[in-house]
Amino acid sequence: MDIFWLRENVLPLMFIGIFVGAWVICYYITHLNYEDRLKRKRKKKMILSDMVEQYRCSPKFCKLSTKTQKEYMAQQKKICETVVQNNVKLGDMKLKKISLKHMSAAYEQWLRIGGKNTVRTANIRKSNLSVVFKYAMQNELMDRNPLVGLDTVKDAVRQVKWERDEVKQFLDTAYSDFKYRSIALLCHMAYDFGQRVGDMRELTWDSINFNEKRIDITQSKRGAVVHLPVSDRLIKMLQQQKEDFDGISEYVCPRIPVRGTEYRPYTDKQVSYLVNDIKDEANIRPELWAMDFRRTAVTEMVESDVDVFGIMQVTGHQNPQSVKNYLVNTLDGATTALSKRNANG
């Protein structure tokens, strides 16, 4: 009976089997490719500003210091606001449509901004954008980096340093007026310790060990920690500062507030303005900047025959190549080098 039934229904059963098999295959193909299709859809529609927001949620971005994150976000905002074609902002363009032509137009605009850091700013934005594009490619949201092949202008290495008598004149002038005390102190530390002015602005009292005459600095740029001895003169200045601001501010070099606001650190712009005022009073070259104190310290260490690895212990650099950006070619440095060579000859 069963055999007879099977003979009679073999064709319908075959059709049912084929139908079920086809349905199963289609089901798995559809669901297995769902993520791929979703990615393709996102890839097709995603604009640059959306990609920037996605990058900011990535573990790589979250690992950056708060200061670096703020700098990235400020530059990314400017990048997305750049108009590249037919009044279309770069941030509103679909990723797949951004080309080398658009990148060249944006880069040229950044170079026309003007100011003393024009080339540097343009190159920073290019590097910032390249990081976003690389992240997009890693997540299969872009097939190529449209910045590849972009002609860029090389940022000249700044070759300016403070002379020792200029440093002395600057500090003497600044320390003589209480309103400049914090500026004098943060520039003094930037010079003595070879540190960035920005890190000295944010320095807090818990970083200073008065008993051991030591300062421990966690650098904001890459998180490097350096331990540095404090000179007797600087210790006296710091002790006086602590007496004057003890219990008022956690920051070593606070800005004197206006109308009862908090004793907060100076901003970079405020430091620049006040340093210029002090330079004018002290009759010091206008081309010198506060940021040059770090370069001056490195150059003086080289002139004093300190090897690059010793300098790295002070500056916090992890790569000897990075130290070269802070060097200034000087007569004293060349004289030391040639004297050593001649002595060994």
* 268 and 216 housed in the same domain: yes
pTM: 0.65
Bridge partners of residue 256, in order along the sequence: none
Cβ-contact 213, 234 below 8 angstroms: no
The reply to whether 14 falls in a domain is no
Q: Do 112 and 178 belong together in one domain? A: no
pLDDT for the residue 80: 93
On whether both 130 and 197 belong to a single domain, the answer is no
CA distances from 135 to 14, 61, 142, 221, 306 (A): 51, 10, 9, 21, 40
Pick from 48-57, 230-239, 247-256, 314-323: least confident? 314-323
What CATH number corresponds to the domain at position 243? 1.10.443.10
Does residue 71 fall inside a structural domain?
yes
Q: Are residues 74 and 125 in the same domain?
A: yes
Same-domain check for residues 94 and 192: no
The structure tokens listed for 287 are 């081309």
Domain contains 8: no
Co-location of 177 and 281 in the same domain: yes
H-helix or E-strand spanning residue 162: none
pLDDT digits (tens, 9 = 90+) for 152-161: 888 777 778 9
CA atoms within 13 A on the CB side of 77: 5
Containing structural domain, residue 63: 48-138
Q: Return the amino acid letter for 195.
A: Q
Q: In this structure, is residue 216 part of a structural domain?
A: yes
User: Which helix H or strand E contains 159, and what residues bound it?
Assistant: none
Q: Are 97 and 207 found together in one domain?
A: no
What are 3-50's pLDDT values in tens digits? 555 556 556 656 666 666 666 665 555 554 545 554 555 656 789 999
Question: What is the phi/psi pair of residue 113, to 5°?
Answer: -60, -40
Q: Are 115 and 173 members of one domain?
A: no
Give per-residue pLDDT as tens, 86-131: 888 999 999 889 999 999 989 988 888 756 678 888 888 999 999 9
Q: What is the CATH number of the domain that holds 109?
A: 1.10.150
Question: Does residue 301 fall inside a structural domain?
Answer: yes
Across 7-16, 251-260, 270-279, the highest mean pLDDT is recorded for 270-279
Q: Are residues 174 and 92 in the same domain?
A: no
Instruction: Mark whether 190 and 328 lie in a shared domain.
Output: yes
In this structure, what token pair is assigned to residue 256? 């004197």
Q: Are residues 63 and 171 in the same domain?
A: no
CA–CA distance from 278 to each of 183, 185, 286 (Å)?
9, 13, 10
Residue 134 domain flag: yes
3-state class (DSSP) for residue 146? coil
For residue 84, what are the contacts with CB-CB under 8 A and spacing of at least 6? Answer: 90, 93, 102, 105, 106, 109
Residue 151 in any domain: the answer is no
Alpha helices in the chain (DSSP H): 2-32, 34-45, 48-56, 59-62, 66-81, 100-111, 118-138, 164-175, 181-193, 197-201, 232-245, 268-282, 292-303, 308-315, 320-323, 331-344
Q: How many domains are contained in the chain?
A: 2
Q: Which of 138, 155, 180 is the last residue of a domain?
A: 138
